[in-house]
């Protein structure tokens, strides 16, 4: 008598993403009318397009004492199973207790008729306005969506392949200095590196280290116009393709000095990335600065965006200052005066 065992596997795959919708001039949105909404920008999660709908005066007469939040499927698709939720963020970016989460199936019947799901009574308006999440007439709500992308039963015939760890090996190479063949002296600090790695990642380094420039013939190169922490972070990115220590600029413990230092580092790192033709690093810095704009920094960030031709960062700064309440506050800062001196024509864009 013989026996056999077979195996099958049911696999559900999902993709999760979030979109932060910042409301500036909240008091000005009140009174737009019941059933009237404000749209966020369209964003993509799980291969589908979505948008947030914010009802300052409620989505119906029965809910006029509440603010309402909905997420709308903007893609012409049917039976999109997703888990969604809204969370109001505290001023330091940490999620607050004002949140709701649901699971549903979104349906879109045509290219112009889209289905929305959400919370008609997300929070009572009086309760929300008394919370610390609303400050300087502004708040941020984060919508998180998990989309089921595949449901499949299969018979496994696979070999487990670990994820790539090439970046870990390269970082070890940088830290160990094994085989390093060039030394950079930056304001008295020395950094050893590998010519081939630098040249592979940066066209500027390639020209300096293997072209006709004099750096080709020397083992020690002095850098005059970059600070050591900035150069060190740039080297880390070149070897690892990531930004260690800068991913969480929002300080969870309210350490404003540390947060400001990280923002300044991101600004200087953007300049270095532009100089050495590191496009991905430049965009990462732009993204970090976009996500951390405030009244005290937006003017200096806009100066940087103009100087380095960062179109997306400039657009984000201009959107941030588009509210009359915010613009009035920004205009009182020293950075704004410097902005007008450096780029007087910027007023026509604001």
Cβ–Cβ under 8 Å, residues 48 and 147: yes
Last residue of a domain, one of 154, 186, 221: 154
Q: What does the pLDDT read at residue 4?
A: 63
Cβ–Cβ under 8 Å, residues 295 and 252: no
Cα–Cα distance, 38 to 53 (Å, whole number) = 6
The count of other CB atoms within 10 Å of the CB of residue 122 is 24
CA atoms within 13 A of residue 348's CA, in its CB half-sphere: 3
**Residues of the chain above pLDDT 70, percent:** 89
Last residue of a domain, one of 231, 249, 281: 281
**CATH code (residue 320):** 1.25.40
What is the number of structural domains in the chain?
Answer: 3
Of all helices (H) and strands (E), which one includes residue 52?
A: strand 48-55
Last residue of a domain, one of 135, 154, 173: 154
**CATH code (residue 268):** 3.30.710.10
Q: What does the pLDDT read at residue 282?
A: 96
**By three-state DSSP, how is residue 76 classified?**
coil
Same domain, 16 and 148: yes
Q: What does the pLDDT read at residue 251?
A: 44
Q: Nearest to residue 21, comparing CAs of 44, 48, 45, 43?
A: 43
Q: What does the pLDDT read at residue 3?
A: 59
Q: Each residue of 198-255: pLDDT tens digit?
A: 999 999 999 999 988 777 778 999 999 999 999 999 999 999 999 876 654 544 444 5
Same domain, 204 and 246: yes
**Residues of the chain above pLDDT 90, percent:** 67
């Amino acid at each position: 008598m013989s026996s056999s065992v077979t195996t099958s596997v049911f696999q559900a795959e999902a993709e999760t993403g979030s979109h932060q919708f910042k409301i500036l001039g909240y008091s000005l949105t009140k009174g737009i009318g019941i059933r009237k909404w404000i749209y966020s920008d369209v964003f993509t999660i799980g291969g589908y397009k979505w948008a947030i709908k914010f009802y300052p005066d409620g989505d119906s007469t029965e809910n006029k004492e509440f603010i309402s939040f909905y997420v709308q499927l903007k893609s012409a698709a049917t039976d999109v199973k997703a888990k969604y939720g809204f969370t109001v963020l505290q001023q330091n970016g940490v999620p607050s207790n004002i949140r709701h989460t649901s699971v549903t199936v979104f349906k879109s019947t045509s290219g112009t008729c889209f289905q929305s799901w959400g919370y008609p009574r997300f929070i009572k308006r009086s309760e929300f306005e008394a919370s610390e999440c609303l400050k300087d007439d502004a708040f941020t709500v984060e919508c998180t969506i998990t989309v089921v992308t595949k449901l499949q039963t299969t018979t496994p015939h696979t070999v487990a392949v670990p994820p790539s760890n090439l970046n870990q090996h390269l970082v070890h190479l940088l830290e160990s200095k094994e085989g390093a063949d060039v030394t950079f002296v930056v304001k008295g600090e020395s950094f050893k590196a590998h010519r081939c790695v630098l040249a592979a990642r940066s066209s500027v380094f390639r020209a300096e280290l293997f072209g006709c420039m004099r750096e080709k013939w020397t083992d020690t190169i002095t850098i005059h116009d970059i600070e050591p922490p900035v150069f060190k972070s740039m080297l880390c990115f070149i070897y690892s393709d990531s930004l260690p220590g800068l991913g969480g600029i929002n300080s969870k413990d309210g350490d404003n000095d540390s947060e400001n230092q990280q923002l300044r580092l991101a600004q200087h790192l953007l300049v270095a990335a532009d100089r050495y033709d590191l496009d991905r690093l430049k965009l990462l810095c732009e993204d970090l600065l976009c996500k951390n704009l405030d009244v005290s920094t937006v003017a200096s960030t806009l100066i940087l965006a103009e100087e380095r031709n960062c179109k997306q960062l400039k657009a984000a700064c201009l959107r941030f200052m588009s509210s009359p309440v915010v613009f009035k506050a920004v205009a009182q800062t020293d950075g704004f005066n410097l902005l007008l001196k450096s780029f007087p024509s910027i007023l026509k864009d604001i």
